[in-house]
Amino acid sequence: MRSSFISLLAITGLFGTSLAAPTLVGVESRATANATDIMNDFYTQVQTHTGTINSTLNGINSSSSSAQNSTAQAAISKAVTNIITAATTANTALKTSKRDLEARSYSAQDQQIISGTSANAITSIAGTMGLVQTKFGGVYTGGLIGGLVGALGLVLGTLDAIVGDVLMLAGALVGGVLEGVAGLLVGILFGKW
């Protein structure tokens, strides 16, 4: 009887101490990004920057001065740099989250959604580069495409390694639709050149 009373006192004392001096335990909340979210964010950024390029091109015509053309080319180069930065950021996010992303199983529907988003981003960029080529020629546009191909290739390669079959599906979605510089860009990215 005595031992149970002493045990009861000890337990009550521990309970009282825990209430008197609570210990804070940090709760870490970490939302894991998935490839769909990362690529949707990338596509949104691509739309923003290709929109900037397209509106810049709309302000240029055959009677534009060389100063206006130079200003437009500088704005276009900056927007292309922003697309490259967005691609690099997406690639880093994919690589950083790779371990978590690989644990998630991607269904055929997930693959199609991610491939569609990737194809939309590539088509948007390729179409805009086609417009740039029409306004400023292949030499200027070729200088822009090199950086784009490198950055986009990294994103698509990382994405394909995580999700699987993205390059094949995205290539099928975009293949044969584009011509000129846009076709060259798509051909290099999807190995159809």
> Measured at the alpha carbon of residue 159, what is the angle toward residues 119 and 124, in degrees to the nearest 5?
20
**Interatomic CA distance for residues 178 and 46, integer angstroms:** 18
**Interatomic CA distance for residues 60 and 54, integer angstroms:** 10
Domain encompassing residue 140:
35-190
pLDDT(158) > 60: yes
Does any domain span residue 20?
no
The residue with greater pLDDT, 164 or 1, is: 164
Among 24-38, 57-71, 96-110, name the most confident range. 57-71
Does any domain span residue 13?
no
Does any domain span residue 5?
no
**Interatomic CA distance for residues 76 and 53, integer angstroms:** 5
Among 60-74, 116-130, 159-173, the minimum mean pLDDT is found in: 159-173
Helices 35-58 and 108-163 cross at an angle (nearest 10°) of 90
Does any domain span residue 9?
no
pLDDT, position 178: 45
Helix, strand, coil abundance in the chain, percent, nearest 5: 80, 0, 20
Structure tokens, 110: 């997930």
Residue found by looking up tokens 């999700």 in the block: 163
Does any domain span residue 159?
yes
Does any domain span residue 27?
no
Domain count, the chain: 1
pTM over 0.85: no
Does any domain span residue 29?
no
Does any domain span residue 26?
no
Among 23-27, 62-66, 88-92, the minimum mean pLDDT is found in: 23-27
